[in-house]
Amino acid sequence: MARYEIQYGHLERPRHTNLDEDKARFECAVQKWLDISETGFGVALLNDCKYGAHAGMETVTLTLMKSGTHPDPRGDEGTRFVTYSLLPHACAFSAESVIHPAYELNAPVRVVPGEVGAAPLLSYDRPNVIVESVKWAELESAFVARVYEAEKTGSFAEIQFATPVKSVVETNLLEEKPKPVRLRDGKIQFYIRPFEIKTFVCRV
């Protein structure tokens, strides 16, 4: 089996072609990574802009271009730049061995002027709980932290806020149906199910 990242999770697909449907699946949708792992080791293919790949029994392929000839027969002309990385890891699949490096490839570190010792907006204690996005709330003076569980395993997690937060509510993806979340010492604690997405509206 191989794992292919999709938005807010991943899917497992067979690498063999024993069945007709396996033979027809010559390409799978993929976001930032695909991974082939055993218990003690594995290898991942990371990329920053290509969304089709396939892991067979002997080869791994990444689709570099999809281009039609109609209505523009010259649609695939020109220079293309592709970034990808082959990442062996001496451990089983995990967020730390595959998912975090894929994020680092897609969002490299940028150096900007700042204050010495400035703290991040928030931090979390579980590597498999990913803070996917932080944005301003749609309807109130607050910011939204959207997190998801990435390893397909339920976890208890904690988020620590570095900026003063008055209250936190959990909502759906549309920031509706708020439910209060206990805020204590600038922290919230919660349980997140496998591949679950949680949206927290943090009022400042």
* pLDDT at residue 196, rounded to an integer: 96
Using pLDDT thresholds of 50, 70 and 90, give the confidence band for residue 77: confident
* pLDDT at residue 22, rounded to an integer: 79
* pLDDT at residue 115, rounded to an integer: 77
Q: What is the DSSP string of 48-81?
A: SS--EEEE-SS-EEE-------SS-TTTT-S---
Q: How far apart are CA 168 and CA 158, in angstroms?
A: 13
Q: Is 186 left (phi over 0), alpha (psi -120 to 50) or beta?
A: left
Q: In the chain, what are the domains?
A: 2-66+81-106 (no CATH), 122-203 (2.60.40.2220)
Q: How far apart are CA 149 and CA 70, in angstroms?
A: 41
Would you say 165 and 204 are in contact if contact means Cβ atoms under 8 Å apart? yes
Position 161 pLDDT exceeds 80: yes
Position 41 pLDDT exceeds 80: yes
pTM to 2 decimals? 0.85
Q: Which own/partner contact pairs does 127-130 have at CB distance under 8 Å and 24+ positions apart?
A: 127/94, 127/95, 127/96, 127/100, 128/94, 128/95, 128/153, 128/155, 129/155, 129/157, 129/192, 130/95, 130/99, 130/103
Listed residue (119, 191, 111) closest to 158, CA to CA: 191
* pLDDT at residue 24, rounded to an integer: 79
The most confident of the ranges 6-20, 56-70, 105-119 is 6-20
The most confident of the ranges 78-87, 114-123, 153-162 is 153-162
58 CB burial (10 A radius; 0-12, 13-18, 19+) = exposed
Q: How far apart are CA 60 and CA 44, in angstroms?
A: 10
Mean pLDDT of 159-173: 93
**Which phi and psi angles does 24 have, rounded to 5°?**
-75, -20
Q: What is the pLDDT of residues 123-151, one digit of tens each?
A: 999 999 999 999 999 888 899 999 999 99
Q: What is the pLDDT of residues 97-129, one digit of tens each?
A: 999 999 999 998 888 887 777 677 899 999 999
* pLDDT at residue 191, rounded to an integer: 97
Structure tokens at 109: 């570190």
* pLDDT at residue 17, rounded to an integer: 85
* pLDDT at residue 73, rounded to an integer: 83
Higher pLDDT, 112 or 154: 154
Least confident of 23-27, 83-87, 167-171: 23-27
Higher pLDDT, 204 or 118: 204
